[in-house]
Structure 1
Amino acid sequence: MTTVTRALLASVVCGALAAGAQAEPYRIGVLTDMSGMNYDLSGKGSEVAARMAVEDFGGTLLGEQIEVIVGDHQNKPDVGSTLARRWIDEQNVVAVVDLPTSSVALAVQEITRQSDTALLISTGGSSELTGASCSPSTAQWTWDTYALANGTGRAMTLEGDKTWFFLTVDYTFGNALEADTTAAVEAAGGTVVGSVTHPRETSDFSSYLLQAQGSGADVIALANASGDTMTALKQAEEFGVTALGQDIAGMLLFLTDVHGVGLDIAKNLTLTTAFYWDMNEETRAWSERFAERMDGKMPTMVHAGVYSAVSNYLKAAEKSGQAKSGTQVMDTMRDMDIDDFFNHNAYLRKDGRVVHDMYLVQVKTPEESKGPWDYYKVLRTIPGDEAFRPIEQSACPLLDR
């Protein structure tokens, strides 16, 4: 074989390898809880929502196929970080989505910051994610602890519940939720008279509830989530907490939590949410499509947020001509209108916060509900600029001061 022939063969091989590399699909990685306490509110539903978004977009991005892959982070920051790094380094993942558990979200945000990969957070709720730990390639899409505190905490205090006691799950999310709610309660003229922390996945809240009852507080605030919230609500009912005159505030309640405990227990609870499936024709149409794939289960705000986040990421990536740089995609998104069934007239701030309306809702009584998943009455819309932390109060170092 001559030198020229070898050179030509090498050129053909290299060209084929390059073509093969270019043909590798862009992948969206849904990093979620597929086996633990957050499964119902995120889990499989988040995967379904991401796949719906990709299908509705047309299945290709910048001429390449889009694939959705799923990983279970087991609510462990080290597991989530390892999965995210492997996806980005080895599987051409251009966006990581969902991220239940704030400690996992914060850990993964460091990986995506270093690799300039888009991070679309729908479940992780600590306001720290857009505060001191903010990243130029992150969008916190659905809710955060500030919005919940400013919605539920402020509303209940202004309505006369002036003294508060917290049952707080002892990790990043719970601590942030208590701190943000304390600030909202005090700003509205209320007082926090005490708090107690508990570990995740607690099965016995009796001692915590006794402390809360003994405080005499107007409100016992549950600064926890999913399984812990449902267990605490059930045991509070057994203790007769509301019958004895104290109110319960579920600071983070999902539609699946209400479904899990039932309206007999959850009735009349006030909560803040980013989405409810039965608000209008648009929300019902999308939710019914979702439910067809989920055995009739209606979406939580997380599921709707995943769909919206992936859809808008794909639009911004297509518009920017750049899928692999999360920072460039986010910069493009900041100049776009974010308007869909989930977000109307929303926008992405420089600190990574997607600002949109939130809703103060009340759980229906069994008599008011017309059937399964008919659980909320919308009390009022909280405009996005009122719901979320003002940009001038953000500790995000990316902001121009």
Structure 2
Amino acid sequence: MKKSLLASLAFALAGSTAAFAQDVSDNVVKIGILNDQSGVYADFGGEGSVAAAKMAVEDFGGTVLGQPIEIVDADHQNKADVASNIARQWYDTENVDAIMELTTSSVALAVQALSEEKEKIDIVTGAATTELTGAQCSPYGFHWVYDTHALAVGTGGALVEQGGDTWFFLTADYAFGYSLEEQTSEFVKANGGEIVGSVRHPLATNDFSSFLLQAQSSGAKVIGLANAGLDTANAIKQASEFGIVQAGQRLAALLFTLAEVHGLGLEAAQGLTLTEGFYWNRNDASREFGKRFMERTGRMPNMVQAGTYSAVLQYLKAVEQAGTDATKPVSEALHSMPVNDLFAENGTVGANGRMIHDMYLMEVKAPGDSTEDWDYYNVLATIPGNEAFIDPAESGCDLVSK
């Protein structure tokens, strides 16, 4: 009788273990970091985002629901077709459960559409277009770090209030640039400012001279750089060579992060106003993370890299809460859980997938005001999340109940 009882108990335990293992597909939770690792945005996210994702896995404990967590990564070369092919292979043959980062708006939109088709989760930390949580929203798509609306509210609003009421835009010629120019223009005009002109430039151009001369001759008080990465840095360098700032016009770097400030140097970047969702030297938690990231990468993290850490960590928490890595339960958990970590305090996720959190208006310090390496910003203001981001009910996302 004892043997029979023990056999029954062993069978029950074996069945329980098998059922538990089935909660994680293929006995591993696999997350893909897909971004630019060799082009104009390589410093913007790049290998730093991969490192941040791995840090999140380590901090979570390395396993979830008793199964290992794996990070894979690839370079999408800022090409939507390349990104889509990699994402399709990851989903179809490599059993990737979620894809994150996705720098470049055209890439993010393409991969989000594919992810919805495949019923897989994507969390965008590196792209800016509000279309991701607007007309092209997805029940499995999330937008985590920043967007063009938040950048417009931050940088655009600050300069209009300081008297920068006429603007000329240098705009990257793709979806991100158009969206950033449009959002900022609307905000400038709503606050009494005027748009006097704009010009579009190719992605990764090396020569901004003709574009800058048009901006200079416009007489605008503010030249808005609706671009990112090396494009913004090159435009600032060449503007300095033309003496544009010295002559009285101001440069507004509408998407510029700590990584680009470091590459440019404080001598050239001093006085720039910009908006980020994270600064390593803002509080104790951000400083602790920044120092660990520095030990691993030799650099301090910007908002994209810290945001990727947050996205991976929150995804793993959602898998744990859902008790499975199946897409629909994890998506429901991501929508319902508050976000509290070194990146966001009391962040919330709207029905459209937009993670709403505070943003920060920064001014780049003069070289003499910096007290240590990577001490580049003065935090001028905190922009509450409900001001920085579009109300989900007004986003144009058909998933949101009106």
Question: Shorter-chain TM-score: which interval?
Answer: over 0.9
User: Which of 262, 267, 276 is the aligned partner of 1:264?
Assistant: 267
1:219-274 CA distances to partner (integer Å, 9 max, x unpaired)?
00000000100000000000001111110000000111111111111101111100
Give the superposition deviation at 1:183: 0.7
Deviations 1:158-196 (A, max 9, x none): 221110000000001000000000011011110101000
What does residue 301 of structure 1 align with?
Answer: 303
Partner of 2:204: 201
2:64 matched to 1:61?
Answer: yes
Q: What does residue range 75-114 of structure 1 map to in structure 2 within 5 Å?
A: 75-114=78-117
In 1, distance between residues paired with 2:38 and 2:265?
22
C-alpha distance in 2, partners of 1:222/1:52?
Answer: 33
- Of the candidates 251, 255, 261, which is equivalent to residue 254 of structure 2? 251
Q: 2:314 aligns with which of 309, 312, 315?
A: 312
The equivalent residue for 1:7 is none
Task: Please tell me whether residue 336 in structure 1 is matched to residue 337 in structure 2.
Answer: yes
- Following superposition, the deviation at residue 157 of structure 1 comes to 0.6
**Using the alignment, how far apart are the partners of 1:354 and 1:22 within structure 2?**
26
Equivalent position of 2:151 in the other structure: 148
Residues in 1 aligned to 2:363 and 2:329: alpha-carbon distance in whole angstroms? 40
Secondary structure in structure 1 of the residue aligned to 2:99: strand
Q: Over residues 64-118 of structure 1, what are the superposed CA-to-partner deviations in whole Å (9 max), with x where a residue is unaligned?
A: 2111001111110001011111111111111101001000000000111111111
Residue in 1 that maps onto 2:228: 225
User: Residue 139 of structure 1 aligns to which amino acid in structure 2?
Assistant: F
Structure 2 residue 340 is the aligned partner of structure 1 residue 347: no
State the secondary structure of the residue aligned to 1:367.
helix
Structure 1 Cα separation of the partners of residues 334 and 207 of structure 2: 45
Q: 1:178 matched to which residue of 2?
A: 181
Number of positions where the alignment pairs a residue of Structure 1 with one of Structure 2: 382
RMSD: 1.4
Aligned-pair CA distance for 1:24: 4.0
Post-superposition Cα deviations, 1:368-387, rounded to whole Å, max 9, x if no partner, equal 01132110000010000011
Report the residue type matching 2:167 in the other structure: W
For residues 334-386 of structure 1, give each alpha carbon's deviation from its aligned partner in whole angstroms, at most 9, with x where no partner exists.
22121111100110001110000000010000110113211000001000001
Aligned AA (1:347):
T
Q: Is the 8 A contact 1:95 1:119 kept in 2?
A: yes
SS of 1:153's partner is helix
| Structure 2: tracts of 5 or more residues without a match | 1-17
Distance 2:301 2:113 in 1: 29
Cα offset for 1:318?
A: 1.0
Q: Secondary structure at the match of 1:242?
A: coil
Would the alpha carbon gap of residues 117 and 22 (structure 1) be closer, same or farther in structure 2, given more than 3 Å must change?
A: closer
- How far the C-alpha of 1:23 sits from its partner, in A, is 4.9
Cα offset, 1:324, TM superposition: 2.7
Pair 220,62 (structure 1): closer, same or farther in 2 beyond 3 Å: same
The answer (yes or no) to whether the contact 1:24–1:92 under 8 Å persists in 2 is: no
Partner of 2:73: 70
The answer to whether the 8 Å contact 2:105/2:175 transfers is yes
Alignment correspondent of 2:240:
237
Q: Distance in 2 between matches of 1:22 and 1:276?
A: 36
Amino acid at match of 2:314: N
Deviations 1:126-185 (CA, angstroms, capped at 9, x unpaired): 111111000111110000001000111011112211100000000010000000000110
The answer for the alignment partner of 1:157 in structure 2 is 160
- Inter-partner Cα distance in structure 1 for 2:79 and 2:26: 33
1:364 aligns with 2:365: yes
**Which position in structure 1 is the counterpart of 2:376?**
375
Residues 364 and 377, structure 2, Cα contact 8 Å, conserved in 1: yes
Structure 1: 5+ residue stretches without partners: 1-14
| Cα distance between partner residues in 2 of 1:150 and 1:208 | 25
CA distance in 2, matches of 1:168, 1:22: 43
TM-score w.r.t. structure 1 length? 0.93
Partner of 2:13: none
2:195 match: secondary structure: strand
SS across alignment from 1:93: coil
